[in-house]
Every structure is written in structure tokens, then in C-alpha cells.
Amino acid sequence: GSMTAGSARQVSHSGAVRWWLVSVAVLIAVMVLVGGATRLTESGLSIVEWKSVTGTLPPLNEAQWTQAFEGYKTIPQYRELNAGMTLSEFKTIFWWEWSHRLLGRVIGAVYLLPFLYFLWRGALRGELRRRLWLIFALGALPGAVGWWMVASGLSQRTEVSQYRLATHLVLALVIFASIVWTLRRMTERPQPVVAARLKITGVALLALTFVQLYFGALVAGLRAGRLYNTWPEIDGAFIPSAARLWFEEPWWRNMFDNALTVQFEHRMTAYALLALAVAHAIDATISRAGAAVVGGAWWLVAAITLQAVLGILTLLHQVPIDLALAHQAVAIVVLTLVVLQTDRLVARPVARDQRKLAVPLGQPG
């Protein structure tokens, strides 16, 4: 049928909306890596207050630097871990944390301002508009949890709570995944006909990836990668002794607090994830699920394999920052690929005028 002026305008805007969302996703990925560096350089507690507006400016003269350093000196981490630190050493950790917080503010602006503009121009359709409002609402959560996390390291503890750190990271990655998913959903495409079993393993891969990201954050938060630097054995065996894995009471505390148990569960989940990805890819290939699904499945296997190798190298070398950040960067790649794969598999309603085009793919020709 003939296009109305409104739908013509929507078509012209959809390219701009895509570029905007890609930019936000890239900024979040960068922010996650700066967050990882902030963790690895032990910088996260260097700014001991939360000022939403004035905190945008760093210290600009010696007096302000001294004031910021004096603030840091009041917390247990300084007294117990960094006593005698010089001002220039303090500046290094300050800049990591400050950059991480500044990026958060930048992402907020880069999301909100174009979003308001597109709303004003009527460029966002019903489902897309709802998704983007939801992402906006989620957006404040990592910042709030970030401050809640920093607060955990200011009074009794010498470092931030690893529970809060893992929650902070996973929330950021949920937002990242939502944006990737939203970008995928902006393109109408015919739905391949795939077996229910493939859909189940696809969704299971997505869920297990998030569990693994959470465990990875616990490993980082507990510095558990600096212990048990052997592979494939851990603590002298492939499966360590139950007495060492479960000594804390109640037993479930070990899954979050015991460095051996946390590293062990991160390793075992990695093996499970790789095995599930391989099974999924073989299944997709044998059942002829279509080129996109089969290709996506094998790309996922390749990325998870690379991720496992990087994880092992990071461990054997006792967590050098370059390997640790490479391991974190590939985690973002794995997450992206698993979101795309899940989206290929999960049915979506095809618009009415698209039904004629929806040809079942993947039938043996």
C-alpha cells in the first residue's frame, strides 16, 4: 500500500535510532572494561563521597587533591592496605574511579537526550517505545548499586562487598543485552522454523551465561583468581575435597564467600557452558536449522572456547591486568553472541503485511 507521511518519517529515523543505540551499547561495553580496570587496580574506594553534580569535576588544584586524599585516608582500606601511599599513587587510583563515574554520567546523557528527541519527533513505535522506556528505567540501577557497593567498603571492610560488585556488573550487562536485543528486534525478518529443543538450549545458554558472568564477578571481587593458579587441577585435584569447599556455615555461604568454592564453581560453569554450546551447535547442524542459526551456534562455540583459554591463561599468570581485561572483553562478546542466537530462535510475531514473505527456512532443499 502507499506509505503515509508518518511511516516515511519513521523509516528515515530508524537509521538514526539504530546508530544511537549502537553508540550507547559501545559506551556501556567500554564502561564495563573501565569498571574491570577500576577493580583490578584496587581503585574503587578512592572517592569516598557521592556528589551527583559537583562530582563531575575532578580536583583542580593541590588543595582539592589534598582534601580528596585526606578523605581516602579516613577509611579502613587506606589504613590497612595502603598506609604510606604517596599523593601521586593516590591520583592513579582516583582517576580510574573518576573516569568510571564520569562515563556513567556521559552514558546517561547520551541515552536520555536523543531518546527525548526521538519521542518528540514521534520516531518510536509502540513496542520499541516501551522497550526503550524500560531500558531507561533500568539505567539508574547500576549507579545506585555502585554507590551502595562503595558504601560497603567505607566503614568496617577494607574492600567492597563482592555480592554488591557482582550485582553491579550483572545489572550493567542486563542493560547492554537489552539494547542488543532491541537493535535485533528493529529488523523484521522471516522466522526460521526450528525444533523446540533448540529453542530450549538457546534460552538455557543465555541463562547460564548470566550465571557465569555473576560467578566471574565474584571471582574478581574476592580476588579468587590470585589463588589456586593451576589448571586443570584446583587445590591439587580436579574436584577439591568437600571439607575445603563447604567449611563455612551455612553451606550456601561458601558459594559466595569461600575463594576456593567460588573459583571452582566458575570453572565448572565454564565447562558446562562450553559443553552446552557444542551440543547446541551439533544439534542445529544435524537438524538443518538454517544458515543463520547454525552459523550463530558455531560462532558462540568459538567465542566460549577463546574465553575459556583466556580464563585459564589469566589464572596461570596470576591475573595480569591485560589478560584479565581481555577475558572480560571476550565475556561481552560471548554475551552479545548468545543474545543474538537466542533472538534467532525465539519466535516473534510477523507483521501482517510481512506474512506473505515469511518463508519457512531450513527445510531440506
How high is the pLDDT of residue 317? 95
How high is the pLDDT of residue 364? 47
pLDDT category at 363 given cuts 50, 70, 90 is very low
User: Would the pLDDT of 257 be above 70?
Assistant: yes
For residue range 182-192, list pLDDT tens digits in order. Answer: 999 887 776 77
pLDDT category at 156 given cuts 50, 70, 90 is confident
Q: Mean of the per-residue pLDDT values for the chain? A: 88
Taking the model in full, what pTM does it have?
A: 0.89
For residue range 261-279, list pLDDT tens digits in order. Answer: 999 999 999 999 999 999 9
User: Would the pLDDT of 354 be above 70?
Assistant: no
Q: Positive or negative CA dihedral for 132, 137, 142, 143?
A: positive
What's the Cα-to-Cα distance from 216 to each of 34, 196, 228, rounded to whole Å? 16, 30, 15
pLDDT category at 155 given cuts 50, 70, 90 is confident
Orientation of helix 291-316 relative to helix 259-286, angle to 10°: 160
Q: Which residues pair with 237 in a beta bridge?
A: 234
Alpha-carbon span 291 to 125, nearest angstrom: 30
Grid cell, residue 92, equals 592513579
pLDDT category at 357 given cuts 50, 70, 90 is very low
Percent of the chain with pLDDT over 90: 62
Q: Return the H-helix or E-strand segment holding 110.
A: helix 87-120
Grid cell, residue 102, equals 564520569
How high is the pLDDT of residue 335? 98
Whether the CB-CB separation of 238 and 264 falls below 8 Å is answered with no
